[in-house]
Structure 1
Amino acid sequence: MRWTLKPKPDNEQVHSLANELGIDRVLASLLVQRGISTFEEAKAFFRPNIANLHDPFLMKDMDRAVERIQQAVAANENILVYGDYDVDGTTSVALMSSYLREEYPNVATYIPDRYAEGYGVSYKGIDFADDNDFGLIIALDCGIKAIDKVAYAKEKGIDFIICDHHKPGPEIPAAYAVLNPKREDCAYPYKELCGCGVGFKLIQALNFVKGNAIETLIPYLDLVATAVAADIVPITGENRVLAAIGLDVINTSPRNGIKALIHQLEKKELTITDVVFTIAPRINAAGRMRHGNFAVSLLTEYDFEQAKLEAAGIEKFNSDRKDLDRSITQEALDQIVENNEEAQFTTVVYDESWHKGVIGIVASRLTETYYRPTLVFTKSGEKLAASARSVKGFDVYNALEACAEHIEQFGGHKYAAGLTLLPEQYPKFKAKFEEVVKATIDPGLLVPEIVIDAPMELPDISPKFYRILKQMGPFGPMNMKPVFLTKNVRDNGYGKQVGADKSHLKLNILYGADRKTYGAIGFGLGAKMELVENDFDIVYSLDENTWNGYTSLQLVLKDLQ
């Protein structure tokens, strides 16, 4: 692990903010690092308010999108809400369809089959719309590169409204309206919305023209918060407002589908991390193991008893997904060792029998193990399909662009992408991808980095400090949970390896002249037990630990040396 201490923020700004807010300097320093240096900025940060969202009509084509939906409703047209099969796509479809159906019945949903149709807008989906007399398709979390498909729909007299957040190509589809803050010609002030976030801006605009207060949209934010969490977009600006208010909806009055998933977990209050690791994988499991329609059905179900039945089915999908994920990850790790590829700059593996629904998860697991830009391929019809994952600081999308001569189709983000290619191109692509990454990556990026926010004296950790720290959430990209550094600590002699395989480390850390002890847990750090025999340095975050009804603060160790 590389330990990187963030630069110290401006001392005057920290001093001024600490005095203005009545907080200690470490907390003020954390805020200034996040671009918050005034009382007003701090107020907006700590009290996310739905009234602070941007005007949706600042987004290019928003007026056209609203006008076309109004026209469809006035003419009694059938509207098809179309979205991808992952969490962002299925929550988007649930959001848009449930909002429109509040006042208009002629609305249906369509999720492409991951295996028969693949990612994004499909010809099969357009043919379905044509056969069933849909005059308008609203595509969410996909469509920004569907040039030919939108043209095909136009020939059939079907209009498209595209709500996407993926990076556009050189040409924008000739849809009736294309909402995407990443369009070069779009002046919308916040660029990092997820697909469901762009969909929310559309219903915000529709709500506004109806003369309704924005607060009437709060019940929809459980879906948006779930998508923000799952899609790993920055938790800044509008995303922070949507995630914070949406998380409150999840914990107080969620829709029945989400309530049924939480009911199965028997967890009282969810954090954004819980949403990422418990709610999102279950929603995703429907599209991975069977069909994304199961997720949309659950998320739009009005009857709680029925929602519980559907949630139980999705729980089974998730259990099957976990089994596949484990076995394929092991096969992929074995393949890397057999081919003697551990020392390469990339990890690229392929087996035609691997389940397409879990190759993205497997790619993430391999990235955790070898910390290299990673691609996991499987057979998909006559072609090979892959999921790509990257390491922090390296743009895998750009690397794939440099290999475009060997690729049929690709799309995605800086850190996650998908692609298809012809089987005969696989060896050439694999060699080219290794060559591109080797030539362009900073070798330092191939060592996992821990970014440390601030040095910390352990006695400065108080209940008040933690209470304010907690209010800095929800945490996520660009607003990560603060990580602290404390030097020269020592274990009280009762430290031990814990867990079935002794892979974790549980310590009682002694610090300072008063020799006070601080409970600490280090997940996955069991192998470092020998380092605690003498003084050592720790990097950690803070969390609460509840045991036998008693809650205490604990240090969650990221690393020690």
Structure 2
Amino acid sequence: MSSTTALMSTIVRTWHEKLVSDMTLTPLRRWLLPDIRSIDAPAGIAPLVARILAARGCEAAEMADFLAARIAEGGPPMTDLDRAVSRLRRALAARERIVIYGDYDVDGITGSAILVRAFRQIGIGVGAYIPDRYEEGYGLNAQAIRKLAADGTRVIVSVDCGVTAVREAELARELGIDLIVTDHHHPPAELPKAFAVVNPRRPGDPSLEKDLAGAGVALMLARSLLGELGYALREDELMQLVALATVADVVPLVAANRGLVRRGLASLNRAPLVGVRALAERSGLKLGRINAMDIGFVLGPRLNAAGRIADAEEALRLLLTEDADEAKTLADSLEAKNTERQELTRQVVKAARERAGERPDAWATVVADESWPAGIVGLAASRLVEDYGRPAVVIALSGDEGKGSCRSIAQVHIAEALDECDDLLIKHGGHAMAAGFSVARDRLPAFAERLDEVVRRRLGGARPVPTLRVDAEIEPEALTARLALELADLEPCGAGNARPHLLVRNVRVYGIRQVGADSDHLRCKITVGRFTFDAMAFRRGDHVEAMTDAGFVDAVVTVGTGLRGFVELELRDFGPVGTADRMRGEAVPA
């Protein structure tokens, strides 16, 4: 072990042991406290907002543009975009059959809806095909391509999939189908020999926006196909769809994505699509106040539930319907599927945690079982990352194969890690933080061993310290409704632009109780001066007694508003009074 590795291990062990031994109430993460205490805020920007942006590396001259969240116009188009548009226009002129082939998650479904609606504007009906997760698996597949060819399809446009479909592209060509791939996933060394491959991440692509969701790529295709006038007529509805995808697919909410989501949310709250209105009303959201968090935690999971439990077709129909009665029926069905999904998630997470505990020293958690649904394993992988602070892989076994879902940490690009396991996998693909694959059952032990070594090497042999980066420290008295309004300037918040993590010291907590189906969450009240706030700590239900005994805590919180418009806090982490001082006094190497 190197001296640096030994030092890091000692620091992690020391601060954690101190907290455990000295304090009943223990924070889950190491708080990284900001050095910036004050800044000359640019005109029109609240001082706290300026401090937060500065702590995140935003220069003063850039702050106004960031907060404006404008969508940049111009710049070079993505490689093959013009070629794709030209082929689609030829197909329209010749009345060739066109099919949109989308993935079964929110990104693929909404991207498919974007293109179907774009063709509606032109006056042409196109087919839409969403593969069955359980029968067909992820992405383009040979059986579906043959079926579409037999139906007379001459052009397939993939959405949120296809960049790894080398064999499927070859088959499409043999069957006389021109395949247009639109995707945003990490490209492999060999791209498919499709008619066009539109992906901002492909090598040599000159476009400026590399973090678009799959639906964002589909939107660029739709805009080019429609032209500026046709696009303007459909922009409001297409923006709603791309906002749903961009948040739900957890792509960074920076640059163009920030503008797309802000504009989409404005349209959604002003004049929602029939299906979006029905889903929002069924899930208890108040139209006019829906934000990015509501997409991420309410609307997105319900749209995803269709493909996780059964067939994603219902979700696509919901986003395409203009009939309010049909929309209500579909929204009711998605609500029921989401309830079923929640119960399955609880079961799989519990079992996966038990399996993960058998290898506490692994560099990457790899667990598998025949009883786990393929649509749920990604959710379980996310929980294991939270538990252990290391990459996690959860695999649904069926017959001789397994379908795995990966979630990762910032230090490990999981799609690239899977590239190093390519010879052991049937197929794979994904992003830096999330990926998926298929693997032969008899290759599982070798895969787990290889991935463990790859992750260890990518981490330099040093186990990462679970951290929580604090954006600013505030006086408890600053927790007011006005503060919530100021922080709203940073919206939309999500991946790459999290809701600000604010440190407050020595605040009173009371009315502490367990909530949730499994009593795994904690709800309490926080009193600051003459103000009292409701607060929630997710997956901290086991700390009710310790927090009650403490009475006062140091806490890292985010500030939001509840359904009734009142300020609410989320406790991202907490510890006894004095925790923040300890954290500041014990450095952690970068």
TM-score (norm 2): 0.85
1:537 matched to 2:554: yes
1:122 matched to 2:141: yes
Q: Which amino acid is the alignment partner of residue 67 of structure 2?
A: F
User: CA offset at residue 415 of structure 1?
Assistant: 1.3
Cα distance in structure 2, aligned partners of 1:259 and 1:358: 26
Give the SS at the match of 2:299: helix
Conserved? CA contact 1:57–1:205, under 8 Å? no
1:394-405 mapped onto 2 (5 Å cutoff)? 394-405=412-423
Q: Which amino acid is the alignment partner of residue 560 of structure 1?
A: F
Cα distance in structure 2, aligned partners of 1:359 and 1:19: 46
Match of 2:101 in 1: 82
Match of 1:8 in 2: 36
Query: Relative to 1, partners in 2 of residues 1:326 and 1:472: Cα closer, same or farther, differing over 3 Å?
Result: same
Cα distance in structure 2, aligned partners of 1:292 and 1:556: 32
Conserved? CA contact 1:282–1:314, under 8 Å? yes
Identity of aligned residues (%): 32
2:488 to 470, 493, 503: 470
User: CA offset at residue 161 of structure 1?
Assistant: 1.3
Cα distance in structure 1, aligned partners of 2:181 and 2:239: 21
Q: Which amino acid is the alignment partner of residue 560 of structure 2?
A: D
Higher relative contact order (CA 8 A, sep 6+): 2
Count of aligned pairs: 540
Offset from partner CA, 1:391-416 (integer Å, 9 cap, x none): 33322223222222322211111111
Cα distance in structure 1, aligned partners of 2:545 and 2:99: 58
User: CA offset at residue 354 of structure 1?
Assistant: 1.8
2:567 to 539, 553, 558: 553
Conserved? CA contact 2:183–2:217, under 8 Å? yes
Match of 2:346 in 1: 326
Cα distance in structure 1, aligned partners of 2:384 and 2:58: 37
User: CA offset at residue 434 of structure 1?
Assistant: 2.2
Conserved? CA contact 1:345–1:434, under 8 Å? yes
2:54 to 32, 47, 50: 32
1:200-211 mapped onto 2 (5 Å cutoff)? 200-208=219-227, 211=229
Query: Relative to 1, partners in 2 of residues 1:53 and 1:491: Cα closer, same or farther, differing over 3 Å?
Result: same
Give the SS at the match of 2:219: helix
1:336 matched to 2:364: no
1:519 matched to 2:533: yes
Q: Which amino acid is the alignment partner of residue 352 of structure 2?
A: A
Conserved? CA contact 1:272–1:474, under 8 Å? yes
Match of 1:379 in 2: 397
Cα distance in structure 2, aligned partners of 1:529 and 1:446: 30
Cα distance in structure 1, aligned partners of 2:420 and 2:377: 22
1:400-549 mapped onto 2 (5 Å cutoff)? 400-441=418-459, 446-487=464-505, 489-491=506-508, 494=510, 496-499=512-515, 501=519, 503-510=521-528, 518-519=532-533, 521-523=535-537, 524-525=539-540, 527=543, 530=546, 533=550, 536-545=553-562
Match of 2:5 in 1: none
Offset from partner CA, 1:221-269 (integer Å, 9 cap, x none): 1111110011100001111111111112222212112111112113213
Q: Which amino acid is the alignment partner of residue 164 of structure 2?
A: K
Range with greater deviation from structure 2 (387-396 or 255-264) = 387-396
For structure 1, the 5+ residue unaligned runs are none
Conserved? CA contact 1:353–1:378, under 8 Å? yes
1:241 matched to 2:259: yes
Query: Relative to 1, partners in 2 of residues 1:491 and 1:461: Cα closer, same or farther, differing over 3 Å?
Result: closer
Query: Relative to 1, partners in 2 of residues 1:361 and 1:43: Cα closer, same or farther, differing over 3 Å?
Result: same
Offset from partner CA, 1:138-175 (integer Å, 9 cap, x none): 11101111122112111222111111101111122222
User: CA offset at residue 59 of structure 1?
Assistant: 1.5
1:345 matched to 2:367: no
Match of 1:271 in 2: 291
Cα distance in structure 1, aligned partners of 2:90 and 2:399: 40
User: CA offset at residue 507 of structure 1?
Assistant: 4.1
Conserved? CA contact 1:397–1:412, under 8 Å? yes
Query: Relative to 1, partners in 2 of residues 1:37 and 1:168: Cα closer, same or farther, differing over 3 Å?
Result: same
Range with greater deviation from structure 2 (443-452 or 429-438) = 443-452
Conserved? CA contact 1:207–1:213, under 8 Å? yes
Match of 1:23 in 2: 46
1:68-79 mapped onto 2 (5 Å cutoff)? 68-79=87-98
User: CA offset at residue 281 of structure 1?
Assistant: 1.4
Q: Which amino acid is the alignment partner of residue 136 of structure 1?
A: V
Conserved? CA contact 1:78–1:135, under 8 Å? yes
User: CA offset at residue 473 of structure 1?
Assistant: 0.4
Offset from partner CA, 1:282-320 (integer Å, 9 cap, x none): 111111222122221121111110111122222222222
Give the SS at the match of 1:20: coil
